[in-house]
Structure 1
Amino acid sequence: MSALTTHPTAEPTGVRALAKRLSLHLDTLPTAAAVVIFIGMIVYGEAAYGRIVQFNTLSNLLINNAHLVILTVGLTFVILTGGIDLSVGAVIAFSSVAGVMLMNAGWNPWLAMLLMVLIGTAFGAASGVLVQYFHVQPFIATLAMMFLGRGLASILSTVPERLADDSPLRSLGTQIEIYDGPKVDDIVITPGVIIAAIVVAAAFFVLHRTRTGRTVYAIGGSEQSAALMGLPVAATKMWVYIISGTLSGLAAVVYTARLGSAQNITGIGWELDAIAATVIGGTLLTGGAGFVLGSVVGALVLGLMNVLITRDGGIPPEATTIITGGILLVFVLLQRAVLARRRE
C-alpha cells in the first residue's frame, strides 16, 4: 500500500508576505499613513525648531483643536454614508453669535448653551430632510444650509460679540493643570478637551458597537444593498446629519468658551478643514470605510501643521491652505489606489 504524501503550501516570505498582509488591511492604510505623517511632523518639528515634544505644546495642540475634533467626528458620520456637510462652519457662526447675544441679554447661560447645540440640531435635521425625503444632493442641501446659517449670523450682528467676563460659558475654556512640569512645561486641559474626548469615545462606540454604526457603514458600501437587507436606511441617513449638526452646535460652545467672543465670520472654511481632516484620517469620500480615531489624527495633523508654520516664521499663513490642499490630494490619490486594489 502506497501512502499519499502531501506537501504543505509554502508561505510567502519577504516582500510578498508584506504585500499579502497589506492587502488584508487595505482600509487601514490611509489611517496608518496619517499616523506616520503625524509622527514625522513631530520628529521634523523637534529637529528643526525644538520644543515640540513637550507637554505644553501637545496640551495646546489639544486645547486649540478641540472644536475641530468635534466637527471632524460629525463629518465622519456623514462621509461614511457617502454624503457631505458644508454647513458646519456657518452653523458655528450663527450658533455662537446667537448664544453670546442671548447671554448678554440676560438669558440663563446654561439654557443659552443648550440652545446653541439645538440650533445645530435643527440645521442638521433640515439637511437630513432635504437629502432623504426631497432627494436633494447632499452637496446642494448643505450648501443651502451654509448660506442660510451665514446669512442669519450676519443679520444678528456684523461686529464681534464679547462674552461677559463672569459668564459661566468661559468656565469651559478654563485651563486645568494635570501635571506641574519644569518651568512652563505642564500638562493642561480644558473642559472643552474633555468634551471632545467624550464625543470621540461615544462616536467610536456607536460606529463600532451598535446596529446604527453598522448601518452607517452599510449605507456607504451600498445603499441599495443596505435597504434590501432591511436596515433602517432612511432613519440612519437622517441621524447622521442630525449628529453632524448637533456636534457643530457643540463645537460652537467649546470654541466660544475658549475665545470669549463670537462674530458672523467665525468658521469660514472650517467645513473644508473638517472634511480634509476626515479624509486625511482615512475615511473614504465614497463612504463605507473609515475610522473615527483616524479622523481625530487627521485633525491633529492640521493643527500641528499650523504650529510648525508659526514656529518657522518664514512661511506665510496663506501657505497653510496650499499645504493642506497638497496633503489632501495625496490622501485622495491613496484612497483611489486602495479602491482600485479592493476591486481587484
Structure 2
Amino acid sequence: MTTSAPAPGAAPTKPVARTARARKLPVRLDRRYLPVLGTFVVLALMLIVGGTRYDNFLTPAVISNLFINNAHLIVLAVGMTFVILTGGIDLSVGSVLALSTVITAALLQAGLPVPVVLPLAVGAGTVIGLAHGVMIHYFQVQPFVATLAGMFLARGLCFLIAPESIAIDDPSFVALASWVQIFGEWRMTSSVLIALIVVGLGFLVLHFTRFGRTVYAIGGGEQSALLMGLPVARTKVLAYVVSGTCAGLGGLLFAMFSRSGYSLTGVAMELDAIAAVVIGGTLLTGGTGFVLGSVLGVLVLGLIQTIITFEGTLSSWWTKIVIGVLLLIFVALQRVLSLRRT
C-alpha cells in the first residue's frame, strides 16, 4: 500500500482544526498589568464598601478632598517610581520635603519674592537628588546607604534653618495656595493641578521618551543595558534627580497646604511613598511599574484613612495595620508573578 506524496513545490497542508482553535484563543492580559489591575480592583471595592456603609461617602466633596489632602504624596510617588524602576530606593524624600517647606517659609519671612523662593525650594531637592545619583553610580554606594545619608543631612539642615515652626503669611503665596476652581460640587486647587501635571509629565517621560525606556531597561538588567549601549550612568543619575525634584516640589505643595514650614514635617513619609508605589504595582526589583499605578496606590492609602475617619470608633493606628496587610499581599503577588515569568 502506497501513500501519495505532495507534489514538489506545493505548500504543506495546515491542520485546519489547530488553526481554528488558535483563532479562538482569548486575548491574554500582559502579566505586567496584573498588579495595577489588582490595585484598581481594591480601590473600586473600597469605594463600593464605603458608599454602601456610610452616608455622603461617594460625594464629589469627599473625592476632591482625597486628592487635595494627598497632592504632595502623589508627587513624591511619581519621583519614587522612577527610582524603584531602576532597582534603587530613595529614603530621603520625607526629609527633603521638610527641607523644602522650611526653605520656603524662611525665605518668605526674610522678604524674598515668591518667584525667587519657589525655584530655590524645589532646587534644593534637585541638588540632593543629584548628589545621590553621583554617589550611587560613580562611587558605587548602595542606594539604601546613600539616600539614608541624604535623609539625615536634609533633616539636620531643617533644624539648622528653623528650629521652630514658621508661619507663612506672604500675600502672594497665600493667594497661590488659596486658588481654587469649582466645577459644581468638585473642587480643584492649585496643589491638585500641579500634582496632575506632574503625573502627566511622568507618564509621558516614562512611556514616550528614550530616557523612560532606558529606566525600564536598567531595572530589567543593568549589564544588559550597558551591552546595548544605553546611557546607563546618565539615566541612573537623572532618575535620582527626578526623585529629589519631586520631593522638593512635594514640600512646596505641603507648604501651600499647611501654610507653614516645620522641621518635623514628613517624618516617615518616604515609607508612605514607597508603600504607594509598591501597592500601585511597581516591582521593588525594578523593571516593571507604572506612574498611574502609583497614583492609584496613593488613592488607596488616602481612602483607607478616609474610611477610618468615617468609622469614628477605630483608632488611627488601624491605617498602618491595613497598609501593612496590603503591602504583604502585593509583595506576595509580585513574587508569584516573578516566579511564573522565570
Range of TM-score over shorter length: over 0.9
Alignment of 1:117-156 (within 5 A): 117-156=122-161
CA distance in 2, matches of 1:298, 1:109: 32
| Deviation digits for residues 27-84 of structure 1 (CA, Å, limit 9, x no counterpart) | 1110000000011110111111121211111111111111100000000000000000
What's the secondary structure of 1:21's corresponding residue? coil
| Deviation digits for residues 2-42 of structure 1 (CA, Å, limit 9, x no counterpart) | 8857233263899xx67x824xx111110000000011110
**TM-score with structure 2 setting the length:** 0.93
Conserved in 2, the CA contact under 8 Å of 1:215 and 1:233?
A: yes
CA distance in 2, matches of 1:154, 1:110: 25
| Residue 56 of structure 1, aligned match among 52, 57, 61 | 61
CA distance in 2, matches of 1:269, 1:305: 17
CA drift at 1:318: 1.7
Conserved in 2, the CA contact under 8 Å of 1:127 and 1:145?
A: yes
Conserved in 2, the CA contact under 8 Å of 1:45 and 1:52?
A: yes
Alignment of 1:25-40 (within 5 A): 25-40=30-45
What's the secondary structure of 2:333's corresponding residue? helix
Cα 1:5–1:311, aligned 2, differ >3 Å: closer, same or farther? closer
| Deviation digits for residues 284-318 of structure 1 (CA, Å, limit 9, x no counterpart) | 00000011111111111111111111111111112
Conserved in 2, the CA contact under 8 Å of 1:91 and 1:248?
A: yes
Larger radius of gyration: 2
Whether 1:329 aligns to 2:328 is: yes
CA distance in 2, matches of 1:172, 1:274: 25
Whether 1:11 aligns to 2:21 is: yes
User: What is the letter of the counterpart of residue 228 of structure 2?
Assistant: M
Conserved in 1, the CA contact under 8 Å of 2:96 and 2:244?
A: yes
Determine the structure 2 residue equivalent to 1:169. 173
What's the secondary structure of 1:136's corresponding residue? coil
Percent same amino acid among aligned pairs? 48
Moved over 6 A (4+): none
Determine the structure 1 residue equivalent to 2:74. 69
CA distance in 2, matches of 1:258, 1:110: 18
| Residue 105 of structure 2, aligned match among 82, 100, 105 | 100
What's the secondary structure of 2:187's corresponding residue? strand
Long gaps (5+) in structure 2: 7-12
CA distance in 2, matches of 1:171, 1:71: 24
Conserved in 2, the CA contact under 8 Å of 1:159 and 1:264?
A: yes
CA distance in 2, matches of 1:64, 1:114: 23
**TM-score with structure 1 setting the length:** 0.93
What's the secondary structure of 1:177's corresponding residue? strand
CA distance in 2, matches of 1:76, 1:48: 33
Determine the structure 1 residue equivalent to 2:9. none
User: What is the letter of the counterpart of residue 218 of structure 1?
Assistant: A
CA distance in 2, matches of 1:81, 1:314: 42
CA distance in 1, matches of 2:203, 2:14: 50
Conserved in 2, the CA contact under 8 Å of 1:172 and 1:192?
A: no
Determine the structure 1 residue equivalent to 2:256. 257
Conserved in 2, the CA contact under 8 Å of 1:109 and 1:167?
A: no
Conserved in 2, the CA contact under 8 Å of 1:171 and 1:257?
A: no
Conserved in 2, the CA contact under 8 Å of 1:67 and 1:196?
A: yes
Conserved in 1, the CA contact under 8 Å of 2:129 and 2:242?
A: yes
What's the secondary structure of 1:60's corresponding residue? helix
**RMSD of equivalent CA atoms:** 1.8
Cα 1:11–1:50, aligned 2, differ >3 Å: closer, same or farther? farther
CA distance in 1, matches of 2:93, 2:65: 23
What's the secondary structure of 1:8's corresponding residue? helix
In the alignment of these two chains, the number of paired residues is 332
Determine the structure 2 residue equivalent to 1:237. 236
